[in-house]
Structures are given as structure tokens and as C-alpha cells.
Amino acid sequence: MKRVNSVEALEKEREKIRAARDSNKPCITICTGTGCHAAGCYPVAEAFKKALKAQGMDGSVDLRNTGCHGFCERGPLVVIHPEKILYQRVKPEDAEEIITETIKKGNIIERLLYEHPVTGEKIAHERDVPFYKLQKRIIFGNNGAIDPTSIEDYLALGGYDALAKALTSMEPVQIVEEIKKSGLRGRGGGGFATGRKWESCRNAPGNNRYVICNADEGDPGAYMDRSLLEGNPHSVLEGMIIGAYAIGSHEGYVYVRNEYPLAVNNLRTALDQTAEWGLLGKNILGSGFDFTVKINRGGGAFVCGESTAMMASIEGQSGEPRPKHIHTVESGLHDKPTNLNNVETWANVPYIINQGADRYCRVGTDGSKGTKIFSLVGKVNNTGLVEVPMGITLREIIYDIGGGIIGGKRFKAVQTGGPSGGCIPESLLDLPVDFDRLTEVGSMMGSGGMIVMDESNCMVDVAKYFMNFLKEESCGKCTSCREGTRRMHEVLNRITEGEGREEDIELLEDLAFVTTEASLCALGGTAANPVLSTIRYFRDEYEAHIRDKKCPAGVCKALITYEIDPDQCTICGLCQKTCPADAIEGKVKSKKPFKIVPERCIRCGMCYEACKFDAIKVT
């Protein structure tokens, strides 16, 4: 491909690509996002390739490996276009039947359809599945339609026309104003007004400026940035180029986790393609604007998601944050004005430029505009990535889109905001989700992790989990954070060990105060949230651990016992075979039910998992 030197040339190429495509030609798209990858999508893709060839149809049917469709729970997902028939949990052996039945004859294979969990109705089309129906997928929607390694796919769907519009018919200041007007706020967690950040960076004195895309998605339980970069890398790049033009920067970086190898690869491919097409590099689309992008891979340090730590890491240092009384928009990377935004924020930019701020503003709440992608995971039926308008309630997300709690168990809490966030109880399920409301109840938006917990999750254990995470990830620079997280973890640990003291809750609150107030960066500044929110909403669970030496959820090893219910024991002996501690007594084919010897039991839970008759009880 030759480079395109003008907007007209780009449009001409786009028309050529579109003209060569027949929208009625059958196309099989296979989700190859991480969830489907783990569920075995590649053998399915291989099977389709083989079957199409065997039937001599490889010319008349398109086969496309796409990024994440979002409905990970039901993977591997296959969608047949143009009808958009959704087949779920597809196996390699289904490929041939799909081709002969659905592609050739137009018949729908009932067995592979999604079944409504309540009505039992089989749903054929993607758009009618409740999981998708209630979403508003303006950013994430194209993921399922394009091959992330094909710039032609992106162009065919109107890719880079926002860039063309920005470069030819908008002044940089106008773009900044448009973003300000849109009310877009940073999707990485902070929720800072993007337009204002751009403006400050643009107005900061100095010649060189940098833009950075933060793809160091460290919040455990969140993977929307990964899926966007893997599934639609050009949308992120387009946003970055527009932003760089608006800010006046000629050099950009994407800092991406090394744990996301596919994201790194797809991004690299996208960078090569944009350079080849003249959409990156010198004189982009003949506008006179130059911009290049480099990739930096993270080294597995959570704190590098913090802006100043990330900039230190890009400079080849260990990633330690610095005080921010001088903002990074004035003095960031190499002490130059630097604008850092998260993956999802950048991906919103082309949409805003294309549709205009007024239209973008129509979705959302007063303080939070547009949509947000959440990773809905944990103890919920329909796990996956969901893009919803700001202001939707937690109940709608968890019950209407998520299909409720697994196994009909009782909902206990939803954790948002990663290690900086908090646990929100059942009484607040009707809370509209936006930046400010989540903060009001002691949690935060964070990057959009939404981990649903049920009655079998212990909230003290969850607080301990996060504190362990934070103590490991604290870079150690601020004493308050380094020691505060450590001490809080110690206290939480002794509570879960059954050695909690009456004054421990108060002590945790004291430690939380100091850690919050005296730490430089957001890691320490918000580290207490998981503890404070669980104390606030689940104090009774703490008290049960401390006073009664009981873990009501049956999680904390030191406070639970495993027993065999003699009435349910079928004397099959499976538990005894599985027990690594030789703690189960009994004989197969005897008349006596098996029995656990508490002194020898290491509470590993293997027998509980092995028993097919629910005879093992945890108390």
C-alpha cells in the first residue's frame, strides 16, 4: 500500500475498500479475545478454515478472527453475518454443521443458541440477547466486527475519518474546546476532565510535548483496556493522533503491560500500518503535522499505572511516583509538558469528534457523560465486558445484563474501582453509576472493574486480599503507605486467623487515616478504601470474626470446620481418595458414613470440591 497524502486520497482508498466488499456476503466472525482464547477459540477457527476449504467455500464465505465481543462467559463465540446469528460455546466439531446448515441452507442450529435463563427461550440474534440488548456499545461495538490486524477493516467502518475531520476542518484549540464541551472524564480511574488536561498541557510553556496512552491496566478484575487494544487498536491510535494534534505534541508513547502480549502485537501491527499509510509519521494526510508513537512494555509493577511513576519507567528508571505539586502537564516525561490518558479515554475521542460534543453529551448524567465499559466478573451469571451509559443502576448491570448471581445464591456486595475502590452492599444496588456517586458511597469508578460477590465471600477476607495486594505493590517511597498497608494487612490477617482484638476495628480506622493523608500518590491515598468500605457496610462480619471467632461466609480457614453430613454421605470414598492430609476416616462398602478428623484436616477444601452429593458441610 502506498501512503495517502491527503484526505481526498484517504477517502478514495476507503471507497475502493468498501466497493470491493459485499455486505451480503456471509461472514463468520470468531471472537479471539482472552476469554474465548481460554475457552479454546483457536481450534474452532482452525476447524472453520478446514471445513470451508473442504466444501470449496473458502472464496464465498469470509472468515474473520476478531477481538473480544464481550460475552466471555459464553465463549467461544461465533457470529454469522449479515444476519448476526450468535452461536455460543462453539466447539471445533460444530464448524461443519454451521456451514452446511446455517451458511448453506439458512437454518438456525437451536443447540448452539443462547437460552434465556428465566424464560428458557432460545435467542438467535446477538441484538436480542439481554446481555447485549441493554448495552450502549459506542466504543466497544466495533470490536466484534473487525479483524484487529486489518487497517482496511477499520477504514471500511469509517476509521480515521475523525482524524481527517480534525486535521482539515478544525483548529487545535477548537478540538480542545470540543473535548471540554463533551464533558469527557478520564476513564482510567481519576475521572479528571480530559479537555481541561489537554488545555493545560497545550498552554504549558516549552517546545516539546508528549502524549502518553496508559495501557498499564493494573486493577485486578478489569480488562477493558486490554480488549480495546487487542480488538480495535486503531481506534486508540486515532484518538491519540487527534489529541497530539490538539495539544501540539509530536511524540507519543503507549505504556502497555507485558502480561498482554497480544495487545502489544496488535498494537505493533497497527503502528506499522498507520506509518505505511501515512497516518503516522511526517506530514500526516498532507496537513504538515508530524507525530510518531513508541511502545513501552511495563514490568509488572502496579504503581506504574500512576502517571509520574509511569513516566519514570518510560525514562528507564524504577517506577516510583514523585510529588505532584508541579503537574505532569507542565513537567512530566523528561521534564516536558506531558498529557497522559487511559486507553478507553483515547478511544472516546474519535467518536466525539465525529458525532460532536452535543450529541455525546446526551448520554450520561450531569457530571459524567458518555458510556463506560465495565468488566462484570465474579459471582454473576453473564460475566464479560459491558458498555453502558453513565447513570445506569448497579441493579440493572448485575441483574438485567449480568443475569443475576450464579447458582441462585444471595448477592452480598459489588466491588468497584480495583484496590482503590470499595465494596458496595445490597442496600445501594439502585445507585446510579457515575464518577461522583460511586465516590460518595466510599468506592470509586476506577478503571471499571466490577466484581460481584455472593454470600460465600467473606468481606474481611476481601479486605485482606486487597491489603496484601497493596502492600506488595506499594513502591515503598512513602513511609505512610509502605508501613500503613503492611500494618493494616497484619491486623486483618490476625482477625481472619481468629486472633482479632476488640480494638482492631478502631486501629484499622486510625491506620487508614494516616495512610490516606500522608502518601504522595493515589496508591497510598486510596489504599484504605477497601478496608473502610467493608467496615462501613459489613461491620457485623468483622465483629463475628473478632468476638465469636466465626467466619459467617465459611472462607477464613482458621475459623471454619469441614464436616461430613452422615445423611447425605453415600460412602463412595471419593473424599478420602482426594484428601491430601489423610484426614478422612471410613471404609467403602461399609455401612458407616465417612468422617473428617478435625485435628488432621488442613482445610484445603479438596473433599468439598470432590464430593458429588453435597455431603461436605462448612461451618
Partner 1 sequence: MDVDRVESILKRYDHQDSSLVAMLQDLQAEMNYLPEDALKYIAETLDIPLTRVFRVATFYSAFSLTPKGKYQIQVCLGTACHVRGAARIVDTLERHLGIKPRGTTPDLLFSLDTVNCLGACAAGPIVVVNGEYHNEMSPLKSEKLLKQYQKTEKDN
C-beta of 64 vs 379, nearer to partner 1? 379
Binder among 198, 260, 537, 594 for partner 1 (CB under 8 A): 260
Establish if 387 lies at the interface with partner 1 (CB under 8 A). Answer: no
Establish if 194 lies at the interface with partner 1 (CB under 8 A). Answer: no
* In contact, 20 and 152? CB cutoff 8 Å: no
3-class state of residue 618 by DSSP: strand
Name the strand (E) or helix (H) holding 574: helix 574-578
Q: How far apart are CA 592 and CA 587, in angstroms?
A: 8
Cα Rg for the chain, rounded, in angstroms?
26
Establish if 519 lies at the interface with partner 1 (CB under 8 A). Answer: no
Establish if 75 lies at the interface with partner 1 (CB under 8 A). Answer: yes
Establish if 217 lies at the interface with partner 1 (CB under 8 A). Answer: yes
- Here's the x/- map for partner 1, 546-585, by CB under 8 A: it reads as --------------------------------x-x-----
Q: How far apart are CA 352 and CA 488, in angstroms?
A: 43
Distances (CA, A) of 3 to 147, 233, 291, 437: 21, 19, 15, 47
Task: Kindly identify the residues of this chain, within the stretch 1-40, that bind partner 1 according to CB under 8 A.
Answer: 34-35, 37-39
Q: Report the candidate in 53, 25, 30 with the shortest Cα–Cα distance to residue 41.
A: 30
Q: How far apart are CA 117 and CA 122, in angstroms?
A: 10
C-beta of 314 vs 535, nearer to partner 1? 314
Binder among 4, 7, 30, 72 for partner 1 (CB under 8 A): 72
Establish if 378 lies at the interface with partner 1 (CB under 8 A). Answer: yes
Binder among 318, 479, 590, 619 for partner 1 (CB under 8 A): 318
C-beta of 141 vs 220, nearer to partner 1? 220
Binder among 107, 168, 317, 568 for partner 1 (CB under 8 A): 317
C-beta of 262 vs 571, nearer to partner 1? 262
Report CA dihedral (437, 440, 443, 447) to the nearest 10 degrees.
40
Task: Kindly identify the residues of this chain, within the stretch 223-242, that bind partner 1 according to CB under 8 A.
Answer: 223, 226-227
C-beta of 178 vs 230, nearer to partner 1? 230
* In contact, 402 and 380? CB cutoff 8 Å: yes
C-beta of 94 vs 454, nearer to partner 1? 454
Report in angstroms how near the CB of residue 534 gets to partner 1 at its nearest: 13
Pairing mode, strands 251-256 and 210-215: parallel
* In contact, 264 and 367? CB cutoff 8 Å: no
C-beta of 183 vs 446, nearer to partner 1? 446
Establish if 384 lies at the interface with partner 1 (CB under 8 A). Answer: yes
Given CA atoms 445, 446, 451, 454 in this order, what sign does their dihedral have? negative
Write 197-202 long-range contacts (CB < 8 A, 24+). Answer: 197/329, 197/339, 197/341, 198/243, 198/246, 198/247, 198/339, 200/327, 200/329, 200/330, 201/247, 201/249, 201/329, 201/330, 201/337, 201/338, 201/339, 202/172, 202/173, 202/176, 202/246, 202/247, 202/248
C-alpha cell of residue 239: 484518538
Other CB atoms within 10 A of residue 288 CB: 9
Report in angstroms how near the CB of residue 186 gets to partner 1 at its nearest: 20
Other CB atoms within 10 A of residue 318 CB: 13
Q: What is the DSSP letter of 323?
A: -
Binder among 418, 448, 552, 554 for partner 1 (CB under 8 A): 418
C-beta of 78 vs 241, nearer to partner 1? 78
Report in angstroms how near the CB of residue 131 gets to partner 1 at its nearest: 12
Binder among 328, 415, 480, 534 for partner 1 (CB under 8 A): 415
β strands within 120-188, DSSP E: 122-123
First to last CA, the chain: 67
Report in angstroms how near the CB of residue 385 gets to partner 1 at its nearest: 8
Q: Report the candidate in 214, 223, 157 with the shortest Cα–Cα distance to residue 386.
A: 223
C-beta of 168 vs 317, nearer to partner 1? 317
Establish if 216 lies at the interface with partner 1 (CB under 8 A). Answer: no
Binder among 186, 221, 243, 350 for partner 1 (CB under 8 A): 221
Helical packing angle, 194-203 and 233-247, nearest 10°: 40
Binder among 259, 290, 455, 497 for partner 1 (CB under 8 A): 259
- Here's the x/- map for partner 1, 448-487, by CB under 8 A: it reads as -x-x-x---x----x--xx--x---x-x------------
- Considering only 3-11, 96-104, 561-569, 604-612, which stretch makes contact with partner 1 by CB under 8 A? 604-612
C-beta of 350 vs 378, nearer to partner 1? 378
DSSP 507-529: HHHHHHHHHHHH-SSHHHHTTTH
- In the chain, DSSP finds a helix count (H) and a strand count (E) of 25, 19
Establish if 126 lies at the interface with partner 1 (CB under 8 A). Answer: no
- Here's the x/- map for partner 1, 138-177, by CB under 8 A: it reads as ----------------------------------------
- Considering only 245-253, 265-273, 373-381, 389-397, which stretch makes contact with partner 1 by CB under 8 A? 373-381
Establish if 414 lies at the interface with partner 1 (CB under 8 A). Answer: no
Residue 490 burial by Cβ neighbours in a 10 Å radius (0-12, 13-18, 19+): middle
C-beta of 180 vs 557, nearer to partner 1? 557
Q: How would you label 203-240 residue by residue, b for 16+ Cβ within 10 Å and e otherwise?
A: ebeeeebbbbbbbbbbbbbbbbbbbbbbbbbbbbbbbb
Establish if 383 lies at the interface with partner 1 (CB under 8 A). Answer: yes
Establish if 315 lies at the interface with partner 1 (CB under 8 A). Answer: yes
Judged by the rule CB under 8 A, the positions of this chain that interact with partner 1 are: 34-35, 37-39, 72-73, 75, 217-223, 226-227, 258-261, 296-302, 313-319, 375, 377-379, 383-385, 415, 418, 449, 451, 453, 457, 462, 465-466, 469, 473, 475, 578, 580, 604-606, 609-610
